[in-house]
């Protein structure tokens, strides 16, 4: 891939003098969905697929961007000064947002850049192509301008840029999983205080398979912000009767005891998901460390049911992928992953069942939905690197 992006960079920008190549992974969340902005735990891992960039510093204030994933858009230009989100800037609002956020945090970017991207994460899939671009941009800026920022800082700056520049009220999980990725480990992260541990993921005789529904969605215009505000309202109602800072502090029993304080049946279900999903995540990580992959799979399945029935973020595409996966012998667990409303599912599948899983689920999905899903057998990889 390094040669591919360098060759294209030369084609688009004339030469490759002063160019460096960078990589940041995508991520998948194994369990703990819509808990990250509710003060709960998440359990994501970085992938070996992600976003590559060839980049160099310019002698002026001009920014020139090119993506091999959106070649029809050509070179998109802007300047390093007066950065603001613009509809016509399209995907470049993500790297521009990070440049703006660096400035807001006291790291002024002195010169413009030429940046060419090529991602092998499916766009809009829920594997965090946007967060991958954000962390990647941060890594580029740190390298070229010598900013003293850690990988954890890159995650926080990426989240800040997505919240404040791009207007998506996302939690910290995506950027954190990408910036802090570690090969063959998932990250057990407490989003309330950013304490984390690495947990080895040993799937003897099984692999992680991602199914992309190919239903496109945009986070900012989905019901993501709506779900978030339903949880915030439910939390405020609960705080009248119990001393908590977040839904993630409650056990299932405490939730059942206090839930009558929530004034609306829909909000009860939203809050229930946040509380129960957090507890499932704690149980799942314990199961993994005890080598109980069967229990881990059962908790994944229960997570999907809760996301479907209580949180209502799945939709027919994701439900079809998961319900068909559950029918295949050799599937240990399957659930939607990411924000929902399209995007991907994540399944743990025994090695000998992978081919039949892909053909059975793929055929059933196409018959019901009318177009094909894509399947990726993935490995867990490291965080951002200079290649």
Q: Residue 159 contacts by C-beta under 8 Å, 6 or more apart in sequence?
A: 134, 170, 171, 172, 174, 175, 176
CB-based contact 250:259 (threshold 8 Å): no
Sheet holding 185-190, edge to edge: 41-42, 185-190, 195-200
Query: How crowded is residue 237: how many other Cβ atoms within 10 Å of its Cβ?
Result: 19
How far is it, in rounded angstroms, from Cα 45 to Cα 23? 16
Give helix 315-326 / helix 293-309 axis angle, nearest 10°: 150
Q: Is 175 in a helix, a strand, or coil? A: helix
Those residues whose C-beta lies under 8 Å from the C-beta of residue 103, and which sit 6 or more positions away, are 83, 109
Contact between 140 and 22 under an 8 Å Cβ cutoff? The reply is: yes
Q: Among residues 114, 174, 190, 374, which one is catalytic?
A: 174
As a whole number of angstroms, the distance between CA 364 and CA 342 comes to 17
Q: Would you call 310 a catalytic residue per the annotation?
A: no
Which positions are annotated as active-site residues?
174
């Amino acid at each position: 891939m390094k040669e591919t992006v360098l060759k294209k960079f030369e084609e688009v920008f004339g030469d490759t003098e002063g160019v460096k190549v960078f990589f940041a992974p995508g991520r998948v969340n194994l369990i703990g969905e819509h808990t990250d902005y509710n003060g709960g735990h998440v359990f994501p891992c970085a992938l070996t697929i992600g976003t590559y960039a060839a980049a160099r510093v310019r002698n002026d204030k001009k920014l020139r961007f090119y993506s091999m994933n959106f070649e029809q858009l050509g070179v998109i230009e802007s300047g390093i000064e007066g950065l603001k989100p613009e509809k016509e800037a399209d995907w470049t609002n993500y790297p521009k947002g990070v440049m703006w956020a660096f400035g807001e945090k006291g790291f002024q970017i002195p010169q413009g850049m030429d940046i060419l991207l090529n991602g092998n994460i499916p766009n809009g899939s829920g594997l965090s192509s946007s967060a991958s671009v954000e962390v990647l941009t941060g890594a580029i800026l740190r390298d070229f301008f010598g900013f003293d920022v850690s990988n954890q800082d890159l995650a926080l700056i990426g989240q800040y840029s997505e919240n404040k520049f791009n207007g998506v009220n996302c939690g910290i999980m995506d950027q954190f999983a990408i910036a802090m990725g570690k090969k063959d480990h998932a990250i057990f992260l407490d989003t309330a205080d950013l304490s984390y541990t690495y947990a080895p993921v040993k799937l003897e005789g099984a692999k992680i398979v991602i199914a992309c529904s190919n239903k496109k969605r945009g986070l900012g215009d989905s019901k993501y912000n709506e779900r978030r505000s339903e949880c915030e309202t439910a939390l405020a109602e609960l705080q009248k009767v119990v001393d908590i800072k977040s839904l993630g502090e409650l056990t299932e029993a405490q939730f059942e005891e206090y839930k009558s304080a929530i004034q609306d049946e829909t909000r009860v279900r939203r809050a229930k998901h946040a509380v129960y999903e957090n507890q499932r995540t704690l149980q799942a990580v314990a199961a993994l460390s005890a080598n109980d992959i069967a229990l881990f799979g059962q908790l994944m399945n229960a997570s999907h049911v809760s996301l479907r029935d209580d949180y209502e973020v799945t939709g027919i595409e994701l439900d079809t992928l998961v319900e068909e996966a559950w029918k295949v012998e050799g599937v240990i667990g399957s659930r939607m992953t990411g924000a929902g409303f399209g995007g991907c599912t994540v399944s743990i599948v025994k090695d000998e069942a992978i081919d039949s899983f892909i053909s059975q689920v793929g055929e059933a999905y196409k018959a019901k939905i009318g177009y094909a899903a894509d399947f990726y057998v993935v490995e867990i990889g490291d965080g951002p690197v200079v290649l």
